[in-house]
Amino acid sequence: MILFSRGIAASGVVALIVLPLFHSGFHCYKLRIVTVSITLNVGFSSLP
């Protein structure tokens, strides 16, 4: 389960890097906020 959540966190980081490259206004910005919040939630939930 921890490996799975780390994979999600890693994909979130990748999305943070990729999304600005395909920046298309507010929709992309909203996606980035969602990705950050999901990554933070996963990061906190995977802490011991």
Is 6 within 8 Å of 46 (Cβ atoms)? yes
Distances (CA, A) of 34 to 13, 25, 39, 48: 12, 15, 9, 24
In the chain, the amino acid numbered 12 is: G
Instruction: State pLDDT tens for residues 6-47.
Output: 777 778 788 777 766 666 666 667 777 888 888 888 877 776
Domain boundaries, the chain: 2-45
The gap from C-alpha 3 to its chain's centroid, in whole angstroms, comes to 16
- Entry pTM: 0.38
- What is the DSSP code (8-state) at residue 25? T
Q: Could you give phi then psi for residue 10, rounded to 5 degrees?
A: -65, -40
